[in-house]
Amino acid sequence: MNNPISHPQVTDIPELRLLALHWAGASDPACKADGVIAMADAWRAQTLRLDTLGVLLAQQAIPGRPAVPELISPKFVKHRSMRTVEGRAAMIHALTHIEFNAINLALDAVWRFAGMPAAYYADWLQVAAEEALHFSLLSAHLQTLGYQYGDFPAHNSMWEMAEKTRDDILARMALVPRTLEARGLDATPLTRAKLAQAGDQAAAEILDIILRDEIGHVAIGNRWYNMLCHLHGLDPILTYAELSLQYKAPVLRGPFNMQARRAAGFSELELGILLHDRL
């Protein structure tokens, strides 16, 4: 963040959504993570104002990405043995990439959608800052294994759903935090167990932090999805089913972390439907 031209200080862009757009377009992962955390600090210190006029137009490629990792189809991503350092590093790398995408997804929710209450932008800024912390923790741990972010190929499926829902905030809330990110609630305990069994306790402890925060992130998605449904007189459950079909959302498969999903605000009816549909 030393270059004021490519990476402005908060005082150079005092509007929250414009600054979120800037960091969404930043391609250096570490710089993006640091900038987002600083942006959240500035918002809490009330040195940023909420710019709510009109729809912002991105003048740069969104999201900004580094030259690596190479993005490939999920079916070509290799599964490596957790018994080797390389295998554990590949797993940590995959998680690091998920968190990098999650930063961009949260920033996109801030800058793209105008006219929402201030609490909406504060919520997604908090998410972006926590995802940036997760990325930084995982990236630093990856380096202790002798690797760095970009050393393994990765896939882009999370961002593909963001592209599909770029013009529909209701679909975005339904299908990114409540669907794609909620899958992390189910997968994280299993991944943590594998890493701990392989002797990587440091990685397991990072995943404890991530799971704790991700419950809150999915809860934020649930809150704004249900608020939008209420505002437009829509049934949340029927609407979710319709949006899932319209945007070809992935089919969720168990096992499900029911405790985490309850903590994230899914109703018993929703959880019952989830279980019934997968029988």
Give the CA diameter of the chain.
55
- Average pLDDT (230-252) is 96
Q: Which of 196, 202, 272 is nearest to 237 (CA)?
A: 272
Q: Which DSSP string do the residues of 79-91 spell out, in sequence order?
A: P--TTSHHHHHHH
**What are the pLDDT digits (tens) for 23-72?**
999 999 999 999 999 999 999 999 999 987 666 677 778 999 999 999 99
Confidence tier at 4 by pLDDT (50, 70, 90): very low
Q: How many CA atoms lie within 13 A of 94 on its CB side?
A: 18
Alpha helices in the chain (DSSP H): 16-25, 29-44, 85-112, 118-144, 157-164, 169-175, 182-197, 201-231, 236-246, 258-263, 268-277
Q: How far apart are CA 91 and CA 147, in angstroms?
A: 12
Instruction: For the chain, list the domains and their CATH numbers.
Output: 10-56+78-277 (1.20.1260)
222, 266 Cβ separation under 8 angstroms: yes
Residues 221, 171: contact at Cβ < 8 Å?
no
Question: What share of the chain in percent tops pLDDT 90?
Answer: 82
Determine how many CB atoms are found less than 10 A away from the CB of residue 146.
10
